[in-house]
Amino acid sequence: MTLSKVIFKDLGLIDYKECWDYQTKLFENTVQQKIHNRKNLENKVETKNYLIFCEHPHVYTLGKSGSENNLLINSNELENNEASFYKINRGGDITYHGPGQLVVYPIFDLDHFFTDIHKYLRFLEEAVILTLQEYGIISERVDGLTGVWIEGGTKNARKICAIGVKSSRWVTMHGIGFNINSNLKYFNYIVPCGINDKAVTSIKKELGKEINMNELKQKLKINLANIFNYDYQ
């Protein structure tokens, strides 16, 4: 069986809106290609899959089901903290992205893999869980909540990775925010993911040392490929 192919792009530190526009273009092109293929069965063009790694300057994003009340600072305070704010078209509530956090945007056509959005979310979580294991950190899922947690079932529960996605015609966009060397003070200005009784953490905080981001990217990149069973082209 031939494995699906994924095009990998590391965009480094990139403005949130610029990257949003970029992934939206890839997403919309893929959706339109699928619509074209269904109308032109004899001239089908294989859709492409993309995996984007990046970091963003300080930014808060609010999903479709979120409440602006979960942003705890006003526009002046946003400016003072050199942060921006966007309402976006993914699921979920409010989250933060910033330097030291690895943001991962898979633009996958799930017809190449499996057409099950819940399974897709669990696979993303599993890739993060396996990557954390390589740093000696035990993490888990919490029933009823997306993302990856440490000591999830206890009063010390803390979130290390947030997940929010959008899909149309089984094409995905948006993805995960994985706290590696994040400045966690920025989470104090929101109710992360609308959950007000659980803390946020990072690998740096858990281990008490700065993490080599390039090494971590390579580990996560491999774990994603193994879990979804694809090759990079």
Q: Is the dihedral of CA 10, 14, 20, 21 positive or negative?
A: negative
Planar angle of CA 125, 12, 102, nearest 5 degrees:
25
Residue partners of 170: CB distance under 8 A and separation at least 6: 34, 109, 110, 111, 115
Chain mean position to CA 3 = 23
Angle, alpha carbons 169-170-172 (nearest 5°):
110
Strand intervals (E) in the chain = 4-13, 49-55, 59-62, 84-87, 94-97, 101-107, 140-142, 145-150, 158-168, 171-179, 199-200, 230-232
Tell me the C-alpha to C-alpha distance, in Å, between residue 101 and each of 27, 179, 188, 212, 230: 23, 5, 16, 12, 25
19, 54, 161, 193: which is the annotated catalytic residue? 193
Judge whether 193 counts as a catalytic residue.
yes
User: Distance between CA 225 and CA 166 in Å, rounded?
Assistant: 20
User: Which H or E element spans position 226?
Assistant: helix 213-228
Q: At what angle do helices 213-228 and 117-133 cross, to 10 degrees?
A: 140
Chain CA centroid to CA 202, Å: 15
| Residues with a known catalytic role | 193
